[in-house]
Amino acid sequence: MEIGTKENPWKLKTPPLSSEYEMYIEEKDGKKVIVCVVGKTTLLYDFKCIADLHAMLKSHGDWMELGSADEQKEAKAGTVEFWGRSESNPVKGWYVCSSAHGSSWLGRGNQRS
């Protein structure tokens, strides 16, 4: 069975190893998304973030801290997390598309507040 599907998701833990969550890839509204399920919360991330992150890291050319700030807190400058929320990334903001219950796509110039 292929890994990274809804039927066989990646099973992960948060950085402090205090919570488990699952991620997998699927299509929603004609777009490839990364689905993140934490408890009863489901978030969708633009799959494009993988290629964009790879390009940014190659350009950066050195190790970069990942970051682990809560979504309501500011991300530490110089981290992957900061870049993923920055207006200077290719989608001009967050790579979060929506909750699985909504249909709006955040990213693409939209910022979370």
Q: Is residue 109 part of a domain?
A: no
Q: Is residue 24 part of a domain?
A: yes
Q: In terms of residue numbers, what domain contains 26? A: 10-99
- The owner of tokens 């309501």 is 72
What is the 3-state secondary structure of 65-100?
CCCCCCCCCCCCCCCHHHHHHCCCCCCCCCCEEEEC
Q: Is residue 3 part of a domain?
A: no
The Cα–Cα gap between 76 and 98 comes to 23
pTM: 0.76
Contact criterion met (CB below 8 Å) for 64 and 80: yes
How long a stretch of residues is the chain?
A: 113
Residues 71-98 pLDDT 10s: 789 999 999 999 999 999 999 998 888 6
Q: What total of structural domains would you count in the chain?
A: 1
Give the pLDDT score at 105.
43
Q: Is residue 111 part of a domain?
A: no
